[in-house]
């Protein structure tokens, strides 16, 4: 039996109130989002208001509702947006004279790499940001963005921007399964007349644990699942060790925080000065019984952990005091260096101390800035980013992203101003670049460096350095072209690949063809590698209206692609029945050679079987035709009696004639033999015989 502080039911028993918000039916056990926030989220904010570090994270199997509880969907806002709204509501209603400062950071841990969600994908470091630890600052992320916000709209826009950059993949179990651990960090500072309190609020949406057999993941999705399960296993080990440490304080227990970036980041929330709340999301399906039981045991161990949270008061004074102490230690190390007492370890300690002091001085300098100065610096930084980008008229044609998750759909927009816009992959992920580096020589690398930089950068399998182009012609038409053969195979227009459209007759092609390109039409679905988009002409209707109407969505684009792939595969199989030497696409590699041979053998066998059946069928048709003619003769005996009696082609009459003639011949032979054997004198026998 498992016992917890609260237990909620949100699987069924709800109804729509007309605005999209799901409320409980009368007499049902359904718990809506507001009730969950009032139970957990309000408690987190109360702790933050009192100066405690606090953490709220959701754990459970993929598809069980963690992201729904934390982020929500549509009008059913989760704990994160409601908490942000409640923070500024409390600030507006406070008349005590205190001042408040709110800084927001958003990160994700994807494949054990920490990424800043407030930085565009193409500008992030390939290996992610480093998690560091110092005696002065504790555990922190080096170089992460801390954005000051002064209103709910500002924090809402920041979360929307982070959600746009979030990494999401698709599995069979959950089409909107989060493929990364997402953490929203809110630094909340309360400044009173006599003190300053700082609280760090960590709102964590963990990626779901999953089994490969159930999700059907393969390739990159399987690698992501392995990394997710590894970090969650490490989190479970840390919780188990912390529970053991809490039940037996005198026992020396080593907690493996360093085995995963997730546990390293949550080190303070799990076993430090923090008030932590854990939400366990469970699936009601019987097929998920083992995962549900594992989650319950997970939470039962976490409940045994006892943290000792303290109020974080006057952090600036504490930082200055510790900084002075570290400076004194650094001076002593420099003096020992001048006295000649030095070794390799001393040099290493000296470098580490200098780095820690530099980081602490930067943090102190940031603390000494006023909140208005931070806001002004952020405005200048955002303005500089906007100036660097090209100012585009929002009424020009564009493509807008499609996604399984409605929250992520329509967030990415790429405009096509007058002229030609290049689409390509300017930055490849590490695994692909390493594999390609072993195959490409130095000359090819130099040639690729000479290629122009794409105007629109897309990442993913199948994307080429220069993949496609869209020309916004003077007559207002937008013409899509693939820039090479591989790109044509990885680019789809309404589900059909461009290479297949180029092979079609111009009259049968579903889109107007201009040389080697195709004219795009409003609401056309486009696929570049793994990226799904819809083409929008704003003078017809906006992207928001188009997506909201359901005329363009991810499911439609995916089904179109699947239908075309199935049709093309069936066509190749039919062709291969008559061309057994033809190698089907995807079987060229040596590792698939045996599969190719087996398939060719099967095709040969099918071909021979069809040929035999065709011969048998022809023979049967001849017999049926023969029987039909004889039936017609039998039905009309007077008209063609001579033909029926003497025609050589009639098998029945011919058999009868032959049998009768043979019988007469045998009878004559017997009579001749008896005549030769009889006596010459007359006798009654002979008379009787001759007569």
DSSP 382-423: HHHHHHHSPP--TTS-EEEE--SSGGGTT--EEE--SEEEEE
Tell me what the mean pLDDT of segment 121-137 comes to. 77
Q: For residues 379 and 369, give the distance between their C-alpha atoms in angstroms, rounded to a whole number.
A: 15
Choice among 311-320, 455-464, 640-649 with the minimum mean pLDDT: 640-649
Q: Which residues contact 609 (CB under 8 A, 6 or more apart)?
A: none
Q: For residues 204 and 55, give the distance between their C-alpha atoms in angstroms, rounded to a whole number.
A: 8
56: phi then psi, degrees, rounded to nearest 5: -135, 120
- Give me the pLDDT at residue 170, please: 38
Mean pLDDT across the chain: 76
558 annotated binding-site participant:
no
Choice among 24-33, 112-121, 330-339, 484-493 with the minimum mean pLDDT: 330-339
Q: Which residues contact 155 (CB under 8 A, 6 or more apart)?
A: 84, 87, 88, 102, 104, 149
Locate 439 and state its tokens: 């195959």
8 Å CB contact between 647 and 658 = no
Choice among 10-14, 125-129, 213-217 with the minimum mean pLDDT: 213-217
Q: For residues 578 and 610, give the distance between their C-alpha atoms in angstroms, rounded to a whole number.
A: 11
Question: Higher-confidence residue: 47 or 214?
Answer: 47
- Short-list 182, 218, 204, CA closest to 405: 182
- Give me the pLDDT at residue 662, please: 67
Q: What is the pLDDT of residues 614-627, one digit of tens each?
A: 787 788 778 778 87
382: phi then psi, degrees, rounded to nearest 5: -65, -40
480 has a pLDDT exceeding 90:
yes
Q: Angle at the Cα of 128 (from 127 to 130), degrees rounded to 5?
A: 110
Q: What is the pLDDT of residues 347-390, one digit of tens each?
A: 666 666 666 667 666 766 766 677 777 878 877 777 766 655 54
Question: Higher-confidence residue: 586 or 96?
Answer: 96
Q: Tokens 């993941």 map to which residue?
A: 217
18 has a pLDDT exceeding 60:
yes
330 has a pLDDT exceeding 80:
no
CA 671 to chain centre: 99
Choice among 29-43, 144-158, 443-457, 576-590 with the minimum mean pLDDT: 576-590
Tell me what the mean pLDDT of segment 652-666 comes to. 58
- Give me the pLDDT at residue 108, please: 87
65 annotated binding-site participant:
yes
Residue % of the chain over a pLDDT of 70: 69
Tell me what the mean pLDDT of segment 254-261 comes to. 87
Choice among 263-272, 488-497, 593-602, 634-643 with the minimum mean pLDDT: 634-643
394 has a pLDDT exceeding 80:
no
> Can you spell out the DSSP letters for 336-390?
HHHTT---HHHHHHHHHHHHHHHHHHHHHHHHHS-HHHHHHHHHHHHHHHHHHSP
- Give me the pLDDT at residue 443, please: 47
548 has a pLDDT exceeding 60:
yes
Q: Is 524 exposed, middle or buried (0-12, 13-18, 19+ CB in 10 A)?
A: buried
How would you label 578-601 residue by residue, b for 16+ Cβ within 10 Å and e otherwise?
A: eeeeeebeeeeeeeeeeebeebbe
Q: For residues 81 and 99, give the distance between their C-alpha atoms in angstroms, rounded to a whole number.
A: 22
651 annotated binding-site participant:
no
66 annotated binding-site participant:
yes
| Kind and range of the H or E run holding 140 | strand 138-141
Q: Which residues pair with 422 in a beta bridge?
A: 469
- Give me the pLDDT at residue 19, please: 83
Q: For residues 101 and 97, give the distance between their C-alpha atoms in angstroms, rounded to a whole number.
A: 13
682 has a pLDDT exceeding 50:
no
- Give me the pLDDT at residue 524, please: 93
- Give me the pLDDT at residue 334, please: 65
Tell me what the mean pLDDT of segment 280-289 comes to. 84
Residue 177's pLDDT band, with cuts at 50, 70 and 90, is very low
Residue % of the chain over a pLDDT of 90: 8
- Give me the pLDDT at residue 547, please: 84
Rounded to two decimals, what is the model's pTM? Answer: 0.60
Residue 478's pLDDT band, with cuts at 50, 70 and 90, is very high
328 annotated binding-site participant:
no
Tell me what the mean pLDDT of segment 463-480 comes to. 90
- Give me the pLDDT at residue 438, please: 43
Question: Higher-confidence residue: 427 or 361?
Answer: 361
**Highest mean pLDDT of the ranges 176-180, 315-319, 330-334, 338-342:** 330-334
Locate 177 and state its tokens: 């399964």
Residue 344's pLDDT band, with cuts at 50, 70 and 90, is low
Question: Higher-confidence residue: 169 or 516?
Answer: 516
651 has a pLDDT exceeding 60:
no
35 has a pLDDT exceeding 50:
yes
315 has a pLDDT exceeding 80:
no
431 annotated binding-site participant:
no
Handedness of CA 170, 175, 181, 184 (dihedral sign): positive
- The packing angle between helices 289-302 and 220-247, to 10°, is 40
**Highest mean pLDDT of the ranges 70-74, 496-500, 672-676:** 496-500
63 annotated binding-site participant:
yes
- Give me the pLDDT at residue 237, please: 86
Q: What is the pLDDT of residues 138-153, one digit of tens each?
A: 788 888 888 999 888 8
519 has a pLDDT exceeding 50:
yes
- DSSP code at position 644: H
Q: Is 350 exposed, middle or buried (0-12, 13-18, 19+ CB in 10 A)?
A: middle
Q: Which residues contact 674 (CB under 8 A, 6 or more apart)?
A: 689
**Highest mean pLDDT of the ranges 377-386, 631-640, 663-672:** 377-386
Tell me what the mean pLDDT of segment 292-308 comes to. 83
62 annotated binding-site participant:
yes
Q: What is the pLDDT of residues 51-82, one digit of tens each?
A: 888 888 888 877 788 878 888 877 888 888 89
- Give me the pLDDT at residue 522, please: 92
Residue 471's pLDDT band, with cuts at 50, 70 and 90, is very high
- Short-list 85, 36, 77, CA closest to 56: 36
CA 111 to chain centre: 13
Tell me what the mean pLDDT of segment 34-55 comes to. 88
Give the number of C-alpha atoms closer than 13 A to the C-alpha of residue 191, restricted to the C-beta side. Answer: 10
518 has a pLDDT exceeding 90:
yes
- DSSP code at position 582: P
Q: What is the pLDDT of residues 532-546, one digit of tens each?
A: 999 999 889 888 888
Residue 666's pLDDT band, with cuts at 50, 70 and 90, is low
8 Å CB contact between 243 and 215 = no
């Amino acid at each position: 039996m498992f016992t917890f502080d609260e237990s909620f039911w949100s699987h069924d028993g709800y109804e729509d109130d007309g605005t999209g918000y799901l409320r409980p039916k009368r007499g049902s056990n359904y718990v809506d989002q507001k009730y969950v926030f009032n139970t957990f989220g309000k408690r987190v904010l109360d702790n933050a208001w009192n100066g405690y570090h606090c953490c709220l994270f959701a754990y459970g199997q993929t598809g069980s509702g963690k992201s729904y509880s934390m982020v929500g969907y549509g009008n059913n806002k989760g704990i994160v947006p409601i908490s942000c709204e409640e923070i500024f509501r409390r600030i507006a209603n406070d008349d005590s004279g205190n001042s408040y400062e709110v800084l927001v950071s958003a990160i994700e841990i994807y494949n054990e790499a920490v990424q800043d969600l407030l930085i565009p994908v193409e500008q992030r470091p390939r290996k992610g940001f480093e998690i560091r630890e110092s005696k002065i600052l504790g555990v922190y992320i080096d170089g992460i963005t801390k954005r000051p916000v002064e209103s709910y709209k500002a924090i809402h826009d920041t979360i929307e921007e982070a959600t746009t950059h979030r990494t999401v993949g698709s599995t069979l179990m959950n089409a909107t399964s989060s493929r990364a651990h997402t953490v929203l960090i809110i630094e909340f500072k309360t400044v009173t007349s006599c003190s300053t309190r700082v609280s760090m609020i960590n709102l964590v949406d963990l990626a779901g644990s999953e089994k490969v057999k159930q999700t059907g993941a393969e390739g990159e999705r399987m690698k992501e699942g392995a990394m997710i399960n590894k970090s969650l296993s490490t989190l479970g080990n840390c919780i188990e060790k912390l529970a053991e440490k809490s039940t037996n304080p005198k026992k020396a227990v080593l907690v493996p925080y360093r085995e995963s970036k997730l546990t390293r980041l949550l080190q303070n929330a799990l076993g430090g000065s923090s008030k932590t709340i854990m939400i366990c999301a469970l699936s009601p399906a019987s097929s998920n019984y083992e995962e549900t039981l594992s989650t319950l045991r997970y939470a039962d161990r976490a409940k045994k952990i006892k943290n000792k949270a303290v109020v974080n008061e006057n952090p600036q004074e504490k930082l200055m005091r510790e900084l002075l102490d570290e400076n004194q230690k650094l001076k002593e190390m420099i003096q020992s260096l001048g006295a000649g007492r030095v070794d390799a370890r001393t040099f290493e300690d000296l470098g580490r101390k200098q780095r820690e002091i530099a980081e602490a001085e930067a943090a102190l300098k940031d603390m000494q800035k006023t909140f208005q100065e931070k806001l002004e610096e952020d405005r200048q930084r955002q303005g500089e980013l906007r100036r660097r980008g090209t100012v585009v008229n929002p009424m020009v044609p564009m493509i807008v992203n499609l996604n399984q998750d409605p929250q992520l759909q329509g967030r990415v927009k790429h405009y096509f101003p007058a002229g030609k816009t290049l689409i390509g992959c300017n930055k490849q992920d590490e695994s692909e670049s390493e594999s390609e580096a072993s195959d490409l020589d130095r000359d090819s690398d130099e040639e690729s460096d000479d290629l122009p930089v794409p105007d629109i950068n897309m990442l993913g399998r199948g994307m080429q350095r220069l993949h496609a182009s869209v020309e916004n012609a003077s007559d207002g038409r937008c013409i899509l072209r693939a820039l090479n053969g591989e790109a044509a195979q990885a680019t789809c227009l309404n589900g059909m690949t461009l290479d297949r459209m180029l092979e079609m007759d111009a009259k049968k092609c579903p889109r107007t063809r201009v040389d080697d390109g195709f004219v795009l039409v409003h609401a056309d679905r486009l696929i570049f590698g793994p990226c799904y988009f819809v083409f929008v002409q704003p003078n017809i209707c906006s992207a928001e209206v188009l997506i909201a109407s359901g005329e363009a969505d991810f499911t439609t684009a995916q089904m179109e692609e699947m239908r075309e792939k199935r049709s093309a595969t069936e066509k190749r199989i039919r062709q291969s029945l008559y061309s057994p030497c033809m190698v089907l696409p995807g079987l060229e590699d040596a590792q698939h050679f045996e599969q190719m041979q087996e398939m060719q053998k099967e095709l040969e066998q099918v071909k021979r079987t069809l040929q035999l059946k065709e011969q048998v069928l022809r023979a049967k048709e001849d017999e049926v035709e023969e029987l039909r003619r004889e039936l017609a003769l039998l039905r009309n005996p007077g008209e063609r009696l001579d033909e029926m009696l003497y025609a050589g082609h009639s098998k029945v009459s011919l058999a009868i004639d032959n049998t009768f003639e043979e019988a007469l011949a045998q009878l004559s032979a017997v009579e001749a033999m008896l005549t030769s054997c009889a006596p010459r004198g007359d006798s009654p026998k002979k008379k009787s015989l001759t007569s």
